[in-house]
Amino acid sequence: MNAETLVIRAQQGNKEAFVQLIKEMEHSLYKISRAILLSDSECLDAVQETILIAYTTLHQIREPKFFKTWITRILINECNNIRKRQTKIVKMDGMLEPSITEQRDAIIDLQTAIHSLEPDLRTVITLYYYEDLSIKEIGTILDIASGTVKSRLNRARTKLFNLLHVNKIEGRMLHE
């Protein structure tokens, strides 16, 4: 059953349809929140609050085909609300141990570099590369112009290149 049909059924009161929609999106929602918040507990709080809001306001969605965009927008708003409430620095605990292989080190370096970006840059990188959303979809979700999305992607790519290139030249890894 496709997502649009599930949305329509969920809007008609079918709880199982809503549960199925959420199950299909839970991994994606977690990855997006993780890119913004960095703390597992805060990510889980954001996803849980997003699901609650989505359930109680599902009747407001006019176009079922835009459910993913709609719920992603709710999630990003919740993540931003949590970030605003933060009063302390989030510790980067639970980092992966350095691996033997260079490929694994490169992946860890990339993840670390992405996590070091400003939240607005980290969000567009995650939505574009990890969630495979188009520039237009990202603009809709974040309520910004497509040109702004392109600009943020460009800045993020430049910063990532500089972070990874400088560390490679200096012979160090970001996760050390």
Those residues whose C-beta lies under 8 Å from the C-beta of residue 103, and which sit 6 or more positions away, are none
What tokens were used for 112? 């670390």
Question: How many CB atoms sit inside 10 A of residue 89's CB?
Answer: 6
The DSSP 8-state label assigned to residue 88 in this structure reads S
Give pLDDT tens digits for 25-69: 999 999 899 888 878 888 999 999 999 999 999 988 889 989 999
Topology classification of domain 102-169 = Arc Repressor Mutant, subunit A (1.10.10)
Residue 101: predicted pLDDT: 55
Cβ–Cβ under 8 Å, residues 2 and 48: no
> Can you tell me the mean pLDDT for 76-101?
64
Conformational region of residue 94, where left means phi above 0, alpha means psi within -120 to 50, and beta covers everything else: left
Whole-structure pTM value = 0.61
So what CATH class is 3-85?
A: mainly alpha
Domain with CATH 1.10.10.10 in the chain: 102-169
Tokens of 176: 């050390």
